[in-house]
Amino acid sequence: MDDYDLPLDTSQDLFHFTEGNLAYAGRHFHDETNALHSHSFVEIAFVLAGRAVHQSLGGPQLVSAGDVILLRPGAWHGWDDCARLTLYNCCVSAALLRRELAWTRQDQLLGYLLWTGPYSASGHGMLTTRLDEAALADCEVHLAAIDSLRWQPVEQYRGDIVGRLALVFASLGRALEQSHETQLEQVGPAHPAVEQAMRLLERRLAYRWTLTELAEDMHLAPGYLVRLFKAATGLPPMAYLARLRAEHAATLLLQSDQPVTCIGHAVGWPDQNYFARRFKAHYGLSATTYRTRFAGHPVRNLHFADSRPA
């Protein structure tokens, strides 16, 4: 690969989506250490060439062409010992997942890919799999199509964006059938009541939920709701709520200057000691350390729809 063919190195930037934007796809090249960082959207890194050691809360992982790493919002990571590491990064806004892609919760493979797998206790907000050469090439085609739409108006190309993302997710879902077969056997498609409860928890994140009240809102017995939730997500409802709260807290720490105490209140953990314990349990760092380490990077907005540059 000639120097002028190399994708842009963005190792020093922290990306955020701007209002109204849905997704981003772009090629990136790293030949040096890419420092630990975090973000407020779902990121899927497709390794196209080269090698590196991926660092995260789950520990170091040697990666090469074909490896794919999905990270939920707030999950921190970085790349060490990069040797001509070439990635196709696909970034999806949380709002898109909750709206246009909400149907993925009802699909066993896609629900596991985007929600259940990363939310598991051992996932640490992350999911890894591996694509064969043909599947990786297919994904690269769809990611390039998303990249080509970057400067087009979302209102006219929303269907194209969602359609291409669905095709990427489908390829990843098929790969999961082999790499996560045991885990997939333990979960199934979400019951309608589970999806309804998820949406309710997301809309009223700061509310002081109890299992009894949530079950009453679903017109179900608490024990039955727990069984439905665990069958679909691997987690009971209150543990799922804790994951949501930790993610939202991480986003606020990255994108706002609100005091940590206010962020605890905003996500439904007004007791600061309890907030500190729960946040650290999810990210391995205190909220203050997390903000200091990851919110100080320069910020670049992820523009998907914008005026075409001259």
* Rounded average pLDDT over 254-262: 92
Confidence of residue 302 (pLDDT cuts 50, 70, 90): low
Looking at the fold, whether 31 and 177 belong to one and the same domain comes out as yes
Looking at the fold, whether 177 and 229 belong to one and the same domain comes out as no
Looking at the fold, whether 214 and 164 belong to one and the same domain comes out as no
Looking at the fold, whether 217 and 156 belong to one and the same domain comes out as no
Looking at the fold, whether 197 and 111 belong to one and the same domain comes out as no
Tell me whether residue 1 is in a domain: no
pLDDT of res. 18: 62
Name the residue among 13, 24, 165 with its Cα closest to residue 78: 13
> What are the C-alpha distances in Å from 151 to residues 5, 26, 92, 305?
21, 13, 16, 5
Write phi, then psi, for 61 (nearest 5 degrees).
Answer: -140, 120
The tens digit of pLDDT for each residue in 73-104 reads 999 999 999 999 999 999 999 889 888 998 89
* Rounded average pLDDT over 143-171: 94
Give the relative orientation of helices 192-203 and 237-255 as an angle to the nearest 10 degrees.
40
| Cβ atoms < 10 Å from Cβ of 8 | 9
Tell me whether residue 220 is in a domain: yes
Domain carrying residue 139: 6-184
Looking at the fold, whether 229 and 126 belong to one and the same domain comes out as no
Regarding beta strands 67-71 and 126-130, do their DSSP bridges make them parallel or antiparallel, or are they unpaired? antiparallel
**CATH number of the domain residue 264 falls in:** 1.10.10.60
| Final residue before a domain boundary, out of 155, 184, 213 | 184
Looking at the fold, whether 143 and 257 belong to one and the same domain comes out as no
Tell me whether residue 299 is in a domain: no
The 3-state secondary structure of 55-75 reads EECCCCEEEECCEEEEECCCC
* Rounded average pLDDT over 42-49: 97
Contacts of 208 by beta carbon, 8 Å cutoff, 6+ apart? 268
Domain count, the chain: 2
Integer Cα distance of 76 and 154 in angstroms: 29
| Final residue before a domain boundary, out of 160, 184, 208 | 184
| Cβ atoms < 10 Å from Cβ of 130 | 17
Contacts of 142 by beta carbon, 8 Å cutoff, 6+ apart? 164, 165, 167, 168
Regarding beta strands 34-37 and 77-92, do their DSSP bridges make them parallel or antiparallel, or are they unpaired? antiparallel
The 3-state secondary structure of 143-199 reads HHHHHHCCCCCHHHHHHHHHHHHHHHHHHHHHHHHHHCHHHHCCCCCCCHHHHHHHH
pLDDT of res. 17: 64
Tell me whether residue 245 is in a domain: yes
Confidence of residue 151 (pLDDT cuts 50, 70, 90): confident
Confidence of residue 16 (pLDDT cuts 50, 70, 90): low
| Final residue before a domain boundary, out of 162, 184, 206 | 184
**CATH number of the domain residue 148 falls in:** 2.60.120.280
Tell me whether residue 267 is in a domain: yes
Amino acid at 121: A
Looking at the fold, whether 174 and 201 belong to one and the same domain comes out as no
Tell me whether residue 33 is in a domain: yes
Looking at the fold, whether 149 and 16 belong to one and the same domain comes out as yes
Tell me whether residue 305 is in a domain: no
Integer Cα distance of 258 and 264 in angstroms: 10
Tell me whether residue 304 is in a domain: no
Give the relative orientation of helices 287-294 and 237-255 as an angle to the nearest 10 degrees.
40
Looking at the fold, whether 176 and 204 belong to one and the same domain comes out as no
Contacts of 112 by beta carbon, 8 Å cutoff, 6+ apart? 173, 176, 180, 183, 184, 187
Identify the residue whose tokens are 């969602």.
162
Looking at the fold, whether 177 and 238 belong to one and the same domain comes out as no
Looking at the fold, whether 76 and 148 belong to one and the same domain comes out as yes
Among the ranges given (67-71, 140-144, 147-151), the one the predictor scored with the smallest mean pLDDT:
147-151
